[in-house]
Structure 1
């Protein structure tokens, strides 16, 4: 009888997606016993690791209570509990907390090593226990974090990890992107809890913790800064760079000192047309013996601005005028919400962006897993990276002129969250060659202390451009003046000192039956009924954009690559099953726009 009851227990039930929303084709390919099995951090890779994705126990409890005595069911990690792919599909309020629990073992070959427990991202506040001992906590829903759990592991048998998560969505004072308690229009379903890969990695006591690479094409150098753990200043770092299997540069320095690599005269530059990446090997030596090594990659490229012969300030790539053109990419999935069902799904949108002939993508108020940025590096897509918004906007949005109103007033906690998480995002993404522009604010959403935040961002990373507020309240700071206009392009402000760009336009809608999040509730800035009509309208806007490029625009962002929830203004449906335009015609006009500044 007990055995029969156990078989009927929800903890042993077969996983299946929750809810009745549309799904991508990759949802059918998802193996719950092998979820997102790819190595999660390809820019700093080790050969040994253990994936903890899969079935975990979960419980939802009132905020402030202790760990539950029993759990309510199983959840498929790393899909947020609100998502269909989690197998749960429940909402967690700001008055509740979400608990996770699972057991794991340590491979026998790891017993003489330090064990690190990694979380790709958990939204928003996470407290973590291993074997009933708290190992740490983290706030911030978009960046990875880790804990050294070696001292609390059992010498024999299984270990238990417990995670408690609190996420107040739009009722809190944290960066949240487009998540709201009551989704609708341009605001979407909340995402609570673990939404990226959880994994273990064995390292030696002395090990490499972080890499920071900075290319300089003018000096033909690459600077590599290596952060290490449990080391001293007499240890040594060695860096080797490869073109395929051929070594092209080598350098070494004492621990804590940057390694400067001199590149050959014929060094290859990275661009969307030729996204060349150098393989990199970083080794840590102690007393002359190798104690750690990671594999990485880097690239030579430069993002800057420059006045052309007509006095227009242009964006430049590798010291050449270069028109950057790409879609708004919000990174949402009907079945996984923040999390793509598979790695193939994760890269699909990026491949389609390239197929459409774009050279850039704007990652809109979200941060993606590390593998997404590696794919941008490999495919050749310049990334404009937004800071996910939070807080309340200024009293007035004055997008059509330079701002003279009152700034947003954030609480001390809200401002501290913003500054902490923006720094963590830049630290996380710094070494990815494809990142070209930082965007601290979108429109006026939570916009505050814009000149100060912009100056800090530029000082913290002088190797990239800073777009202070895409379509927001405009101040004379940073590298870019960014206008939004729907549906068609319009150049209604111009800055002769900074590059003037069209940060959003388009939004051409078409609702397709059987591919809608809400069958009876959808919208676009303008709406048509056939792919031919949408394609014609898109081309009309692009031809107008070409005229405005001559008058001053240096980049543009089309809204958007896919439908998202109630928005039906994507080039693809939300389930990615239908391309809603004539792809060949779109590619032809996009390439004309991308090459509009070519000499």
Structure 2
């Protein structure tokens, strides 16, 4: 059964009812500069509809509780000058500006549109619904970039480091005895300043062509929810394979083995139920499950109970592996070679930067890809809100998920004008490894994710030794159910499951030829074209990121085609060349650059504002189908777009 988002209607109704409790304290300071969307260098069709109650959906689709309270909306904000400001939280004070949460402080939607947002204060007030009395109150943040220190009623309640990941704070013991509670959040985001080496992806303080405007602050949803006082579920690990075996670990707040019940439903029909122990893995089986694949993205509802705590989740039955097909190592889905073809997806928006203006806007991009026939998307050195992966699960889009890279290819110049490449020191490399583990643990239950990427093109990759080998083994131990692309593009020393080539002028996928930037094809691993294409086509100012520095860099695009017709012709040539390599050699998949334009890049299937599609849809659908047909002739599964 294809479980659409709408099939959660009864649950969502309950969630909406809980969410409808107004947070009347969001706009509580007449002296703050009132919130208003700033003039962006470019907007989208969704910009005007964002309003002041953004992202009303329950943010965590694989661990849902029916009672919750959305704290998104207009908060207060003011800049702080130094890290020392965290020692003196502005408790009970009116902050200088109003800001939209969630949003990037550098974005137009935030109402701030700042620059060099190193230190920031956020403030809001909330009450706790009276039916939650006697329970623990959990405060959740979808993601805050980069370090967040949380204060409740003037007392420090929590801290998190890492700009892409969910964290929660049990705020129960800090709550006021009356109805009103003050939430303050201090955010420090160094991005790529000084000698800072942290996971930043494409963010930079000095945007230029393939590196973009940074995102600081609370950029994903914030919410409250109650949990039973004695014990509750903190994390749910679910893997369901093609044989019907379900592997479950239910993590609890107490960390003690406690009885848990897991029930699996096909729609509303119960198909299996099993009782196990929390905080340790256990197995059970579902007979003859309908498998998940891009052609048939079947999903099953899951209910988990631990004592008085109950959460809703879901899963899809599929097995991702690798194996030889006619003597060539291939990626396998449910035991069959599936040619993976998708786009490099940056996940940037001109109005919200890292934060899409709405769920509708975010899913629009994915539907465009699916309608053209792509069966995969490479989420490029960024981590999206959890609802993104839910949408991929529903639509049937495989996800190649990158770890956000550390500072790429940056150099410092000393007093003698000697240049030294800035790489992670030992503590920074250790922190990168820790955050890589967080990525795996938080997202390993989404059926659509097929592959983890550790390093992209050597960005942040230490070359004096080969950390990718140890990190690859660490990822395998955390998640043995997926493939690992240890070094996408270069610098490749032989780690992981992929022999991954990046070459824009033409593909070199599993072939006996390669260019100096990449490595020769390794037949012991999967031949893959991790990036290619990148063809550019300039447009009028109405659809460009209206920033002169970005416009000046447009001609750095790998190739500029002066008309859309020429762009489609050149696209056809490159896709045909990839098809030829599938038929002749050992090519098992590819990533076209890219879904949309971004700032000074004009090589997207769509413009940055999503208003113009460059693709000749009939041609692209035929070219993509030709890739699947070529793979089927080499022993691959038959696929239809």
TM-score by length of 1: 0.92
Match of 1:53 among 42, 58, 72: 72
**1:17-52 Cα deviation digits (max 9, x unpaired):** 2134110111111121x2110000011111111111
Distance 2:340 2:70 in 1: 37
Distance 2:622 2:404 in 1: 33
Match of 1:505 among 532, 540, 545: 532
TM-superposed CA distance for 1:580, in Å, is 1.1
**1:223-272 Cα deviation digits (max 9, x unpaired):** 11100123643x310111111111111111133343322121x2111100
Distance 1:129 1:8 in 2: 19
Give the secondary structure class of the aligned counterpart of 2:543: coil
Match of 2:13 in 1: none
Contact residue 173 and residue 417 of structure 1 kept, 8 A: no
Distance 1:470 1:442 in 2: 5
Match of 1:327 among 343, 348, 361: 343
* Structure 2 counterparts to residues 177-576 of structure 1, below 5 A: 177-205=201-229, 206-218=231-243, 220-230=244-254, 232-233=256-257, 235-264=258-287, 266-285=288-307, 291-309=308-326, 311-391=327-407, 393=409, 410-448=424-462, 449-490=467-508, 491=511, 492=514, 493-513=520-540, 514-517=542-545, 518=547, 520-521=551-552, 522-523=554-555, 524-550=557-583, 551-576=585-610
* Unaligned segments of structure 1, at least 5 residues: 1-5, 286-290, 396-405
Contact residue 255 and residue 279 of structure 2 kept, 8 A: no
> Does 2:59 align with 1:35?
no
Match of 1:398 in 2: none
Distance 1:574 1:369, change over 3 A: same
TM-superposed CA distance for 1:70, in Å, is 4.6
TM-superposed CA distance for 1:302, in Å, is 1.2
Distance 1:444 1:366 in 2: 16
Give the aligned CA root-mean-square deviation in angstroms. Answer: 2.0
TM-superposed CA distance for 1:412, in Å, is 2.0
Match of 2:639 in 1: none
Tell me how many residue pairs correspond in the alignment. Answer: 571
> Does 2:192 align with 1:170?
yes
Distance 2:391 2:367 in 1: 9
Match of 1:121 in 2: 143
Structure 1 runs of 4+ with >6 Å offset:
none
Distance 2:629 2:265 in 1: 31
Match of 1:582 among 616, 619, 636: 616
TM-superposed CA distance for 1:118, in Å, is 0.4
Contact residue 484 and residue 503 of structure 1 kept, 8 A: yes
Match of 1:3 in 2: none
Give the secondary structure class of the aligned counterpart of 1:188: coil
Distance 2:342 2:72 in 1: 33
Give the secondary structure class of the aligned counterpart of 2:225: strand
TM-score by length of 2: 0.86
Distance 2:29 2:55 in 1: 28
Give the secondary structure class of the aligned counterpart of 1:11: coil
* Unaligned segments of structure 2, at least 5 residues: 1-26, 412-419, 515-519, 636-641
Match of 2:178 among 132, 146, 156: 156
Distance 2:478 2:216 in 1: 30
Deviates more, 1:58-67 or 1:561-570: 58-67
* Structure 2 counterparts to residues 130-149 of structure 1, below 5 A: 130-149=152-171
> Does 2:131 align with 1:109?
yes
**1:341-400 Cα deviation digits (max 9, x unpaired):** 0110111111111011100000000000000000011100110010111145599xxxxx
Distance 1:179 1:408, change over 3 A: closer
Distance 2:31 2:600 in 1: 33
Deviates more, 1:249-258 or 1:495-504: 249-258
Give the secondary structure class of the aligned counterpart of 2:46: helix
Contact residue 532 and residue 581 of structure 1 kept, 8 A: no
Distance 1:241 1:320 in 2: 26
**1:302-323 Cα deviation digits (max 9, x unpaired):** 11111121x2211111111111
Distance 2:241 2:293 in 1: 14
Deviates more, 1:384-393 or 1:362-371: 384-393
Match of 1:403 in 2: none
TM-superposed CA distance for 1:595, in Å, is 3.8
> Does 2:95 align with 1:62?
no
Distance 1:255 1:189 in 2: 43
**1:123-181 Cα deviation digits (max 9, x unpaired):** 00110000001001000000000000011111212100000011111122211111111
Distance 1:408 1:314, change over 3 A: farther
**1:249-300 Cα deviation digits (max 9, x unpaired):** 1111133343322121x21111000000111111113xxxxx0111100111
